[in-house]
Amino acid sequence: MSARRPLPRWADIALLPAINLLMAFLVSGLVVLFVGENPLHAIQVIIYGAFGYGDGFGYTLYYATNFIFTGLAVAVAAHAGLFNIGGDGQAYVAGLGAIVVALALDQTHWLIAMPAAIIAAGAMGGFWAFVPGWLQAKRGSHVVITTIMFNFIAAALMVYMVNRVLKPATTMAPESATIAVDGRVPQLRQFLSFFGYSPVNLSIVVAIAALIGVYILIWHTKFGYAMRVLGANPTASRYAGISNSRMIMITMTISGALAGMVAINEVMGVQNRLVLDYVAGAGFVGIAVALMGRNHPIGIALAALLFGALYQGGQELQFVIPGITREMIVVIQALVILFTGAMEGLFRPSLERAFMLMGPEQKTEAIAVSTAKPES
């Protein structure tokens, strides 16, 4: 018989993710060692590629921007007890709103086009998440099933819209018309030469604002309190006079709108047009980012930066060490997602027991519990 207590807050949000990350790197190191390369050298290359020079750091921030948006989307839904795994589809469909507004206003100024596109992208992404929310609230259809189905619907819809509606008659490539220079979101290299030719742009400012906004929404508003009550105990929420159906639909809409901000980064800041598959799995990476960040904006920012570093550092690793192929880099990234996401609770029981035995009082109590005889 053993006694367990919940982990201290700091251990749950910092120590446990660090242990999971360490295990992911250890297993990844074994993979690198297996192909005859030096794991320590590989780590040095990844760190340098992600943070060692301006272009690399810019690409890290570019990837992290997408992961912040999708991580926040997952986190907002999670606080209400919902598991939104449709971030990919919501971010993808949001591109329709972004490109239509951007093309309509690209002859004005980005200060006009960008806010309008943010509203349009948020509206499209929010609508794409609202429907699964409505289906769960009113019809009992589980949001996990409907959101992942909507990912496939979004993929099919976008292929049709790009090829049959938005593609100019003068091009054969499956893409929309290009946004004029005045309507594009400026890249940071226009203000700071340090970032070289990296695509990081002012969308990162929107991401930082989203982090702050989500923190205020969840922990400093009446709506955020109602959201957390719903996530903790739907029955208590109902008895407290909170409309669970309304909360589910609004929360999913906010979640989808956050995921939709990926379209601003990609469509207006990088591609400057709408192309197929521009989301590139960012919605699913957002799940791992939210889990690793414990659904807190600060944790999500750090986790997004980590995954951005892994993506950019992996690209650098492929060039510097040819023996490590693209497939192996994907394996390393997958291992990090596996340990920090799907298996994030693997070491929790052992860590709880270790903390329980750290103090003399806890140790005495644990021994008493474990040696107590059942009452006759």
Q: What is the pLDDT of residue 209?
A: 98
In whole angstroms, give the CA distance from residue 124 to residue 262.
12
Average pLDDT, the chain: 91
In whole angstroms, give the CA distance from residue 276 to residue 193.
30
Q: What is the pLDDT of residue 201?
A: 97
pLDDT above 90 covers what percent of the chain?
72
Residue 19 makes CB contacts below 8 A (sequence gap 6+) with: 347, 351
Mean pLDDT of 15-40: 88
Q: What is the pLDDT of residue 359?
A: 59
In this structure, which long-range contacts are made by residues 141-147, counting pairs with CB atoms below 8 Å and at least 24 apart in sequence? 143/77, 143/82, 143/83, 143/84, 143/248, 143/252, 144/83, 144/85, 146/86, 147/84, 147/85, 147/86, 147/89
In whole angstroms, give the CA distance from residue 290 to residue 233.
21
Q: Which two tokens stand for residue 104?
A: 């309509």
In whole angstroms, give the CA distance from residue 233 to residue 253.
21
Does 65 have pLDDT greater than 90? Answer: yes
- Rounded CA Rg of the chain: 23
Q: Are 174 and 259 in contact (CB under 8 A)?
A: no
Distances (CA, A) of 195 to 192, 294, 304: 6, 30, 19
Give burial (CB, 10 Å; 0-12/13-18/19+) of 282.
Answer: buried
Q: What is the pTM of this model?
A: 0.90
Q: What is the pLDDT of residue 6?
A: 78
Q: What is the pLDDT of residue 370?
A: 59
Q: Which two tokens stand for residue 20?
A: 């999971």
Q: Are 107 and 182 in contact (CB under 8 A)?
A: yes
Mean pLDDT of 260-274: 97
Q: Dihedral sign, CA of 45, 51, 52, 53?
A: positive
Does 84 have pLDDT greater than 80? Answer: yes
pLDDT in tens, 274-284: 999 999 999 99
In this structure, which long-range contacts are made by residues 137-146, counting pairs with CB atoms below 8 Å and at least 24 apart in sequence? 137/244, 137/245, 137/246, 137/248, 137/249, 138/245, 143/77, 143/82, 143/83, 143/84, 143/248, 143/252, 144/83, 144/85, 146/86
Mean pLDDT of 169-187: 94
In whole angstroms, give the CA distance from residue 186 to residue 284.
27
Confidence bin at 318 (pLDDT 50/70/90): confident
201: helix, strand or coil: strand
Confidence bin at 292 (pLDDT 50/70/90): confident
Confidence bin at 1 (pLDDT 50/70/90): very low
Confidence bin at 364 (pLDDT 50/70/90): low
pLDDT in tens, 214-227: 999 999 999 999 99
Residue 278 makes CB contacts below 8 A (sequence gap 6+) with: 92, 95, 266, 267, 271
Residue 349 makes CB contacts below 8 A (sequence gap 6+) with: 4
**CA atoms within a 13 Å half-sphere pointing along the CA-CB vector of 331:** 12
In whole angstroms, give the CA distance from residue 72 to residue 264.
15
Q: What is the pLDDT of residue 361?
A: 57
Q: Are 300 and 68 in contact (CB under 8 A)?
A: yes
Distances (CA, A) of 218 to 29, 214, 241: 38, 6, 19
End-to-end CA distance of the chain: 18
Q: Are 369 and 18 in contact (CB under 8 A)?
A: no
